[in-house]
């Protein structure tokens, strides 16, 4: 995948846990334009290993001078976000991929219902720019733990005027998904980005209420879950790889020098799908791509987020 | 005209000698109507013999969610299931004499409808795609509508020369109702137009026509 060399132009602590990074082209030229909801993958060379984390672009899609991403510090995760928080400084060079949009707004929608949880707000910030530009009807529902920890509430209030609805868990406020999704006009589309349980709840509620699949959109950029270490055998490459607890299988495969496809690195797009030839312990599917029956059959795995509980896993790669 | 005639001959040969197992992807595939398990309400539209598909739906079950049935008495063939439907669908049945009135009511229903409404249609292909077209302004995509082809196989044919659509064509070759050119009815279907492509058949040698046969009864 072709990459762009960028320089960190500014870092701002938005909340104690969230940092906002401004990236500009290394040689000062313009960056590719993008559409609301796009993400980039940032490559970080830490000692001994490479992290590749996807982050949504949250600036205005018309601004090609700089890209803006926000990173939440995930203590429990594999370190990509920690690296961004602790080692990335102003002036540092990073490699990013061209923007890819796997979470684009439907052009056919008559109304857009945007649902964000925590740091999942970021893709919506660029989408709102797009929605406002075309004058589309939308509602933004933003849930977070507490006002003190919520990013960009003031900016959003200004951007969205009356379209923003906030829910602070600390004050006992919850989104009533059933009420929200059962009273929308025909032609509505729902978009969710946030922690996995929230994504699952929105998908399930919408499906149970009879929303067609085409009208439901989700993105989940939680980092791949930490699990038990395990070994995976790549049949075609004829090697065995150790996947450490805090590394995803995709990262371990890449680290071993085997070429593997990926795009979203968040279990959504399906690009990284691999065929399972053998497994003894079953698969912990963490993706939102495979259908339930495909998950049960254990014939495919999305290595960007999924793992195995067993001792033996053989993939057709 | 001469140029397009040359192209046409190739197509003609291709389609007339259509190989077995050859399937034109643009040609819609229809199913048998079946209730969506997940829905907040249902809207069923049918004309003529399509009424039978509605009766079969109610054989499956009577959903717990609200149901409305809009039935047009006369499809292409003179089959009227109104009386049976009245017994099977005691509530929410609306019978219309003509398609136009049915489609007008359909759009009125859609205006106040909410997400969770599922739409089903049974009837001739022409009727099915009229329903699709009527639903489109409401942001409803074609694949969200469950479609059963009943009644006639007659095709709507779009004349690529004068852009007129001739309805209820039952023959392989038909005169365009706009420009009167003799059109060969192709298998290529446009979902936007809800019609099959029709191409002038005797462009190269005017008046020389292959045999006209009723193949879409
Ligand atoms: S890279 Fe998209 S699902 Fe794995």
d(CA A212, CA A238): 43
Transcribe A134-183 into DSSP letters: HT-EEEEEEEES-GGG-SSHHHHHHHHGGGEEEEEGGGT----HHHHHTS
C-beta A103 within 6 A of ligand 1: no
B39 touches chain A (CB under 8 A): yes
What is the model's pLDDT at position A4?
95
ipTM of model: 0.81
pLDDT of residue B3 exceeding 50: no
- Cβ A235 vs Cβ A315: under 8 Å: yes
- pLDDT tens track for B141-171: 999 999 999 978 899 999 999 999 999 999 9
What is the model's pLDDT at position B99?
87
What is the model's pLDDT at position B75?
66
Report how many domains make up chain A. Answer: 3
Q: Considering the domain boundaries, does residue A102 fall inside one?
A: no
For chain B, the domains span 6-27+153-200, 41-149
According to DSSP, residue B8 is labeled H
Torsion angle defined by CA atoms of residues A208, A213, A216 and A221, in that order, rounded to the nearest 10 degrees? 100
Distance from the CA of A185 to the center of ligand 1, in angstroms?
Answer: 32
**Is there a single domain that holds both residue A206 and residue A134?**
yes
**Is there a single domain that holds both residue A116 and residue A211?**
yes
d(CA A229, CA A226): 9
Q: Considering the domain boundaries, does residue A271 fall inside one?
A: yes
Transcribe A195-253 into DSSP letters: SHHHHHHHHHHHHHTT--GGGEEEE--PPPPP---EEEEETTTTEEEEE-TTS-HHHHH
B113 touches chain A (CB under 8 A): yes
According to DSSP, residue A264 is labeled S
Of A268 and B114, which is predicted with more confidence?
B114
* Parent domain of A245: 230-315
pLDDT of residue B45 exceeding 60: yes
Q: How confident is the model at residue B37 (pLDDT cuts 50, 70, 90)?
A: very high
In chain B, count H helices and then E strands.
5, 10
What is the model's pLDDT at position A78?
64
pLDDT of residue B175 exceeding 70: yes
- pLDDT tens track for B128-146: 999 999 999 999 999 999 9
What would be the CATH architecture of the domain defined by B41-149? 3-Layer(aba) Sandwich (3.40)
C-beta A265 within 6 A of ligand 1: yes
A209 touches chain B (CB under 8 A): yes
Q: Which of A218, A245, A261 is the last residue of a domain?
A: A218
Q: Which of A36, A66, A97 is the last residue of a domain?
A: A97
A214: which chain B residues are within 8 Å (Cβ-Cβ)? 141, 143-144
Q: What is the mean pLDDT of each run of 10 residues along chain A (317 residues)?
A: 89 95 96 93 87 92 94 79 93 94 91 96 95 96 94 95 96 97 97 93 97 91 75 94 89 92 86 92 87 90 91 90
Smallest CA–CA distance, residue A296 to chain B, in Å, is: 22
d(CA B74, CA B95): 10
- Cβ B82 vs Cβ B73: under 8 Å: yes
- Cβ A310 vs Cβ A281: under 8 Å: yes
Tokens matching residue A302: 């999305």
Q: Considering the domain boundaries, does residue A241 fall inside one?
A: yes
Q: What global pTM score does this model have?
A: 0.83
**Is there a single domain that holds both residue A176 and residue A85?**
no
pLDDT of residue B10 exceeding 70: no
Q: How confident is the model at residue B6 (pLDDT cuts 50, 70, 90)?
A: very low
C-beta A168 within 6 A of ligand 1: no
Q: What is the CATH number of the domain that holds A303?
A: 3.10.20.30
pLDDT of residue B1 exceeding 50: no
d(CA B18, CA B36): 36
Q: Which of A97, A120, A148 is the last residue of a domain?
A: A97
């Amino acid at each position: 995948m072709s990459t762009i060399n960028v320089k960190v132009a500014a870092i701002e602590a938005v909340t104690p846990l969230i940092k906002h990074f401004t990236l500009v082209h290394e040689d000062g030229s313009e960056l590719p334009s993008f559409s609301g909801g796009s993400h980039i993958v940032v490559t970080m060379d830490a000692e001994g290993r490479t992290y590749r984390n996807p982050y949504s672009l949250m600036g205005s899609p018309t601004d090609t001078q700089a890209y803006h991403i926000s990173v939440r510090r995930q203590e429990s995760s594999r370190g990509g976000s920690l690296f961004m928080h602790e080692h990335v400084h102003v002036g540092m060079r990073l490699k990013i991929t061209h923007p890819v949009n796997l979470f684009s707004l439907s052009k056919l929608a008559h109304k857009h219902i945007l649902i964000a949880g925590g740091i999942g707000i970021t893709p919506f910030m660029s989408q709102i720019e797009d929605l406002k530009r075309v004058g589309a009807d939308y509602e933004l529902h933003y849930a977070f733990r507490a006002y003190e920890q919520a990013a960009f509430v003031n900016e959003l209030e200004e951007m969205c005027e009356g379209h923003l609805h906030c829910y602070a868990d600390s004050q006992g406020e919850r989104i009533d998904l059933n009420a929200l999704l059962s009273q929308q006009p025909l032609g509505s589309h729902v978009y969710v980005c946030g922690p996995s349980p929230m994504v699952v709840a929105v998908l399930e509620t919408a499906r149970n209420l009879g929303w067609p699949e085409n009208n439901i959109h989700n993105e989940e950029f939680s980092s791949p879950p930490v699990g038990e270490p395990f070994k995976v055998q790549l049949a075609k490459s004829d090697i065995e790889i150790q996947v450490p607890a805090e590394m995803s299988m995709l990262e371990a495969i890449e680290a071993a020098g085997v070429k593997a496809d990926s795009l979203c690195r968040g279990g959504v797009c399906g690009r990284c799908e691999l065929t399972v030839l053998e497994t003894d312990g079953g698969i912990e599917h963490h993706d939102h791509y495979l259908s339930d029956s495909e998950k049960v059959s254990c014939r495919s795995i999305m290595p960007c987020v999924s793992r195995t509980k067993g001792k033996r896993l053989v993939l057709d790669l | 005209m001469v140029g397009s005639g040359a192209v046409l001959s190739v197509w003609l040969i291709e389609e007339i000698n259509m190989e077995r197992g050859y399937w034109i992807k643009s040609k819609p595939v229809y199913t048998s109507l079946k209730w969506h398990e997940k829905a907040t309400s249902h809207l069923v539209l049918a004309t003529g013999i399509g009424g039978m598909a509605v009766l079969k739906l109610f054989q499956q079950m009577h959903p717990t969610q609200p149901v409305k049935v809009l039935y047009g008495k006369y499809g292409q063939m003179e089959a009227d299931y109104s009386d049976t439907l009245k017994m099977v669908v005691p509530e929410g049945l609306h019978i219309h004499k003509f398609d136009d009135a049915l489609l007008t009511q359909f759009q009125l229903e859609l205006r106040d409808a909410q997400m969770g409404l599922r739409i089903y249609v049974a009837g001739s292909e022409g009727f099915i795609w009229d329903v699709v077209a009527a639903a489109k302004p409401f942001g409803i995509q074609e694949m969200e509508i469950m479609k059963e082809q009943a009644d006639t196989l007659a095709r709507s044919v779009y004349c690529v020369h004068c852009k007129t659509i001739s309805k209820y064509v039952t023959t392989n070759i038909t005169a365009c109702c706009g420009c009167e050119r003799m059109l060969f009815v192709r298998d290529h279907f446009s979902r936007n137009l809800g019609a099959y492509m029709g191409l002038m058949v005797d462009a190269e040698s005017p008046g020389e026509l292959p045999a006209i046969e009723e193949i879409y009864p």
